Amino acid sequence: MPSARFEQPALSLFRIVTGLLFVCHGAATLFDVLGGPHGEVPGLGQWPSWWAAVIQLIGGALVLLGLRTRTAALLCSGSMAYAYFVHHQPGGLFPMENGGESATLFCWAFLLIAALGPGEWSVTALLNRPVARREEVSTHPSNA
């Protein structure tokens, strides 16, 4: 059985990589970078492509950083479930048939992150870390 000391770092690395890959998808779709979108760049507010890319970019960034992770991951998971059932599933029952492997994997990966949280290497953990306080040293003569 693996040591428990690796659980939080492994979860953090899983979250970071998953978030980064999702950010890349959103950036590719919105800004025609990193290999560009698979098709046309969606127009501002175009349903559902533009909105999905915004969720990928912002939600992925929040997950990557570990900030509001559970909420962002749940939204990202839901967007991938929508993508699978609306766009992929009509093309066949199984992801191998309908090209929905990445949507399926992202959906379940984000659901796992939503359930387990961000791990110890996150902005949230950093913000919640207790601040070490120094004892104040008085130079006032009456306290000497």
In a domain, 134, yes or no: no
Identify the pLDDT of residue 3: 79
| Vertex 89 angle, CA 88 and 93, to 5° | 130
- CA–CA gap between residue 60 and residue 113 (Å, rounded): 12
Number of domains in the chain: 1
| pTM of the model as a whole | 0.85
Domain that includes residue 71, residue range: 7-126
Structural domain contains residue 104: yes
The answer to whether residue 142 sits within a structural domain is no
Q: What pLDDT does 100 receive?
A: 96
Q: Is residue 138 part of a domain?
A: no
Splitting the chain (144 residues) into consecutive groups of 10 residues, what average pLDDT does each group show? 84 98 96 83 92 98 98 98 96 94 98 96 90 65 59
Task: Please report the pLDDT score of residue 141 as a whole number.
Answer: 64
List helix spans (H) across the chain.
7-31, 49-54, 60-65, 69-82, 95-98, 101-116, 123-128
In a domain, 61, yes or no: yes
Does some domain include residue 96? yes
Q: Look at residue 37 in the predicted model and tell me its pLDDT.
A: 75
- 137: in domain: no
Is 77 among the domain residues? Answer: yes
pLDDT value of residue 52: 96
